[in-house]
Amino acid sequence: MVETLVRTAIWRGDDLAIVEEIPAHVCGSCAEQFYDEDVSEALRRLAEDGFPPAEATREIVVPVFSLERRLTKPAVLLPEDTCVD
Ligand SMILES: [Zn+2]
């Protein structure tokens, strides 16, 4: 287990927020991340507060891609109650 700072991206509907400098424990074999209780709590409160723009430390521009042109078959939107096994 290694202690390090990580970042994460959190989607809220169509909005994306990035949180960085998160103290985390990272598993050396599977890279899974674990947060201490106070860190999880701080993240939860930040999300609850709706990621206030005034608190943002910086902003980045992110390119957005679509797979539509790279898929050979057109995407089929399944009805919501369709069960895919
Ligand atoms: Zn592990």
Q: Supply the CATH number for residue 28's domain.
A: 3.10.20.860
Query: What pLDDT, on the 0 to 100 scale, is given for residue 3?
Result: 94
Q: Output the CA 1–ligand 1 centroid distance in Å.
A: 8
Q: Output the CA 33–ligand 1 centroid distance in Å.
A: 8
Q: Output the CA 15–ligand 1 centroid distance in Å.
A: 30
Query: What pLDDT, on the 0 to 100 scale, is given for residue 72?
Result: 84
Q: Output the CA 34–ligand 1 centroid distance in Å.
A: 10
Query: What pLDDT, on the 0 to 100 scale, is given for residue 1?
Result: 87
Edge-first strand listing for the sheet containing 2-12: 2-12, 15-26, 33-34
Q: Output the CA 29–ligand 1 centroid distance in Å.
A: 5
Say if 24 falls within a structural domain. Answer: yes
How many distinct structural domains can be found in the chain?
A: 1
Q: What is the pLDDT along the chain (85 residues), one digit of tens a residue?
A: 899 999 999 999 999 999 999 999 999 999 999 999 999 999 999 999 999 999 999 999 999 999 988 998 766 777 777 666 6
pTM check: above 0.95: no
Query: What pLDDT, on the 0 to 100 scale, is given for residue 10?
Result: 94
Residue 45 has a CB neighbour count (10 Å cut-off) of: 9
Q: Output the CA 83–ligand 1 centroid distance in Å.
A: 31
Give the residue numbers spanning the domain of 55: 2-60
Residue 33 Cα distances to 13, 16, 19, 24, 28, angstroms: 24, 20, 14, 6, 10
Partner residues linked to 15 by β-bridges: 12
